[in-house]
A and B are shown apart, each in its own frame.
Chain A
Amino acid sequence: MASIAGSSALSFARPVKAINTNSLAFSPVRKGNTFLHLQPVPMRSVSCAAKKDTVDKVCEIVKKQLALPDHTEVCGESKFSELGADSLDTVEIVMGLEEHFDISVEESSAQTIATVEDAADLIDKLVAGKA
């Protein structure tokens, strides 16, 4: 990418994201189940289950970003697109998660997040990496 040199010449403060050296390119496990689970307890995958607290927090942030009513069933298996997120929403959700958990998500990782569980797994790894 030919980015223009001399960014100090910009007259507007342009937010620059610090690259977190602990961030991982995360490949989400594609679960075979195609149905949207309506149970309040998130399904756990066999290994590397995201912490329930993390999943709950992601659900909360996603609901807020997408302006979903409180009673909307959102759980680990919920896909962002099915909740009504377009590409812009997904970027903002990831930013909301970065702010809340004080982490930095690589663009390549951000773009592989499809479900709440994907996001929660990534957050747990990044937070653990910082400890």
Chain B
Amino acid sequence: MTEEESGVRRWLVDISSWRPSPDQFDAAAALLPPHERPAIARFVKEDDRKRALVSRLLQYSLVHHLLRISFHQINIRRTAEGKPYLQNNCSDFPNFNFSTSHQGDYVGIVSEPLCLVGLDIVSVSEPQGETAAEFVSNFSSYLTDHEWNCIVGAGTPRDVLTEFYRYWCLKEAFVKAVGAGVGFGFRRLEFHHEGWTNICICIDGEVSKKWRFWLFKLDETHLASIAKGDPEDAINTFKKTLSSVTIAEKQLSSALDSPEEAFTLQTVEELTQSQE
């Protein structure tokens, strides 16, 4: 590696073409430390088990790739809220943190060395047995009045659905970045944007200058959002795992304003081979 390692990664796997036999699945799972395997096995649906496995392979591959540690030496734990983090981070990246997401055909991971980062992938799918308007209204208490108006005024039912999923996806990315579980009040967050660029967040009614957001269209039905921001906003259980919570404003601004990279597509084979 000729360039200085930044610790920033954006990886994406399309699992639709990965159809492992039970043996192949088990072989991939065997690469992970033993404590991860029961968690994968407990998923009832095969596709969920696949996503759970690939999600974990991404985590371990990423840490292995960046920090040059073998899988079985990597210690990834979870906070009480379920936020995964690298225990005993001895790397050059003081706040090394990562976020995975999976939905439909995609599993993704993002990492940052200093700022918090969160990823959410959604599939804009037609609701079963209810209209777009009915579906979206189920979640009205998770949206602010402003967001609600934007959504219901978006146009066709498909537009309404897509708009809803954009707001939901952004909220999830933020909540995951700060390490909160489902208990975080989604209604405390309000997003503003210009044509879905220059996306900014108001938290409890105040504009925050210390967060950046991006929305990506992965394909016709999948969206991904990335949230990147101030480690001070991490919730306590996650904050404890970080080394440099207080960052000088200039350093934080410079990190926040660095250009956002596109996702790199990985295959499951590449992830499993990286252990050899």
User: Which A positions have Cβ atoms within 8 angstroms of B?
Assistant: 1-4, 7, 10, 12, 14-15, 17, 34-36, 67-68, 72, 79, 82-84, 86-88, 90-92, 95, 107-108, 111-112
Contacts and interface: CB of A to CB of B under 8 A. Distances in A.
Contact of B128 (A12, A67, A82, A108): A67
A15 B140 contact: yes
A72 B204 contact: no
Interface of B: 38, 42-45, 48, 103, 128, 137-142, 144-146, 148-149, 152-153, 168, 172, 181-183, 185, 187-188, 202, 204-205
A88 B168 contact: yes
Contacts of B188: 1
Contacts, number: 70
B209 to A, nearest CB: 17
Contacts of B48: 82, 84
17 contacts: A3-B144, A10-B145, A10-B149, A14-B137, A34-B42, A67-B128, A68-B45, A82-B42, A82-B43, A84-B43, A87-B172, A88-B139, A88-B168, A91-B142, A107-B142, A111-B182, A112-B183
B168 A17 contact: no
Nearest to B130: A92
A122 to B, nearest CB: 15
Contacts of A7: 145
A108 B172 CA distance: 16
Nearest to A79: B42
Nearest to A107: B141
A71 to B, nearest CB: 11
Contacts of B146: 4
